[in-house]
Every structure is written in structure tokens, then in C-alpha cells.
Amino acid sequence: MRTLLYPSLLLSAFLASLLLAGPAAADTVYRWVDENGKVHYSDTPVKNAQVFDSKENTRNEVKVSHGNIKNQDQAEPIADADIQYQVNIVSPTEEATVRDNNGDFSAQISIFPEAPRGTLIQLVLDGKPYGQAQTSPNFDLKAVERGEHSLIAQLVSQSGKVLASSSSRRIFLHQANIKPQVTP
């Protein structure tokens, strides 16, 4: 009986150590730039890679405080004073290179907890509002010039007050030169 119990205890201890070590190992992300200047991320270290902390500067939390409003007929519902909204840009990812000759791409935004009725989402491209604020968290950007850009998403009230804002997201838009060169 002892011989059957001992191997099962060893197996149990081995499996428990794998379960405990697995999540810790998976939390380490490495970042490096290749010889072409492209940024890479991996869970395995390579030469010249640095440990990347994805939790740093990826969220912006804002506490909103308003008085209690009991009038349900008001045009603009007000957020609960104790809720801190988190606005995040889901895509494109940080330092993503978007390739589109027309300069078109999409951006997806997430808000937690769910935004109160009557609030809107405003996308800010390079420090300027892009289009109109909207209720949909999906934005289709059109005819954006090539180069480096910054995106910020804001949760705003209908009066335009910013309730919460995402951190800035840096992206690169690549457009291949499709115009033929004219020789004199």
C-alpha cells in the first residue's frame, strides 16, 4: 500500500508545482527591436530583450462625483458618484503598424463598468477630436496621413464634460507609395 501511495504523492506535488509556477512564468513578457526597427514581444527571452511591464501606464482611472439626481425626466443621466470608469483602447495595440494605402483603419474602445446612458465616446487623434462623439465603441478612421499618431479615447457627458480618459496609444500608419515616379 505504501508503494502505491508514494508515487501518487510525488505526482501530486509535481503537478501542484507546475500549476503554481505556470502563471508566474507566463507573466513575464520580453520586448526587443530587430535590425529593421520592428518592435517584438515574446514570453521567451532573446538577445537584447528587456522585460516589459504591460501593467504600467495602460489604464487611466477617474473618479466622477456628481450630486444625486432623482428626476428621471432629465435629458442627461448622471453617472454614480462612487464609480470609477476605466477607458481603454483595445485596438490598435500600442506601437502597432497599420498598413493601408488609403489611411483607413478601425479602433475599438472598452469601458468598464458599463457607461451610463447618455454618455458618449470621443476619439482624439493627435490631440484633436476625430469626428463626432458617439455611443458605439467602434470607430472607423478614414484618410489618415501616413506616419506616427497618438490615439486617446474619452468618456464624455452630452454636455462635453470628460468623465474618464484612456492613456495615449501610439501607432504608426504605413502607406506604400503607389504613385509612379515621373522621369523628366
pLDDT in tens, 78-113: 445 567 899 999 999 999 999 999 999 999 999 998
- The answer to whether residues 135 and 114 touch, using CB atoms and an 8 Å cutoff, is no
The dihedral through the CA atoms of 26, 31, 32, 33 has a sign that is positive
Q: pLDDT tens digits for 143-154?
A: 999 999 999 999
Would you call the peptide bond into 92 cis, given omega within 30 degrees of 0 as the criterion?
Answer: yes
Q: pLDDT tens digits for 24-78?
A: 545 688 887 888 878 877 888 888 888 876 655 555 566 655 544 444 444 444 4
Cβ neighbours of residue 30 closer than 8 Å, sequence gap 6 or more: 41, 42, 43, 44, 45, 46, 49, 50, 51, 52
* Residue entry with cell 520580453: 30
Task: Determine which helix (DSSP H) or strand (DSSP E) holds 131, and give its type and residue range.
Answer: strand 128-134
Please give the model's pTM, rounded to 2 decimal places.
0.54
d(CA 126, CA 45): 34
Residue intervals in the chain for CATH 2.60.40.10: 57-174
Q: Which residues pair with 138 in a beta bridge?
A: 108
What percent of the chain has pLDDT above 90? 43
Task: Determine which helix (DSSP H) or strand (DSSP E) holds 20, and give its type and residue range.
Answer: helix 2-26
Nearest to 118 by CA among 87, 84, 80: 80
**Domain 57-174, architecture per CATH:** Sandwich (2.60)
Q: pLDDT tens digits for 2-25?
A: 444 455 555 555 555 555 555 554
Q: Which residues pair with 140 in a beta bridge?
A: 106
Task: Check whether 1 has a pLDDT greater than 60.
Answer: no
d(CA 124, CA 154): 8
Confidence (pLDDT) at 68: 47
